[in-house]
Structure 1
């Protein structure tokens, strides 16, 4: 199994080393494997999880909501351990609620961005028309 130092994990995930330590401190990331005098090392699975957290943060999810999603651990791992789905239902429902709320916010932002993009294209068209008229009038 390949292990990455915190600096390499930061580079691969796009999250700074400082933020990785902070996420570990507040419980968003589980404690990493340690060796060589306590140095942190991360697996490829850890880095994939970090990338997931980064995408949530970049799309505006709060740290509190992110913490709610991760605090009960990995649902898929629990299913592989043959934990009854009925035991996982409350956690799954909580995650669904958080993600649905987040999706609604992202859809609203998408609509706003589409309006700005449309307005920007309109402005560009206007400016190109002005330049074209200037060339045509010469």
Structure 2
């Protein structure tokens, strides 16, 4: 069973890597609603869960849903992207809230999975996501 969970987490990372350039492009070229919709779709595609539903709960409860640190990292990345989107559209309070939530996700991930696995998740995310253009 752990092998299936690991395969699922790696597939989610690859899917996020495939979607990352599109998310950045949508953030730069479209309305706030379109950008937020793209982030919701990315969360549904990568994690199989609704972004809006996940953000209703505290970070610790959300991390407990996940079987791997990579999943918490993916959600933290999506929350960071949402914070950037909100900031670009002038919602600095919402951006700050999403940034804090992303940090809480990472902290809870380290508490649940340990520093070694969380660091491995960060490395995996770094490998799978394309580098942003300068």
**TM-score normalised to structure 2 length:** 0.29
Q: Which has the larger radius of gyration?
A: 1
Greater relative contact order structure (CA < 8 Å, 6+ sep): 2
Give the structure with the higher percent helix: 2
Looking at secondary structure, tell me which structure has more strand per residue.
Answer: 1
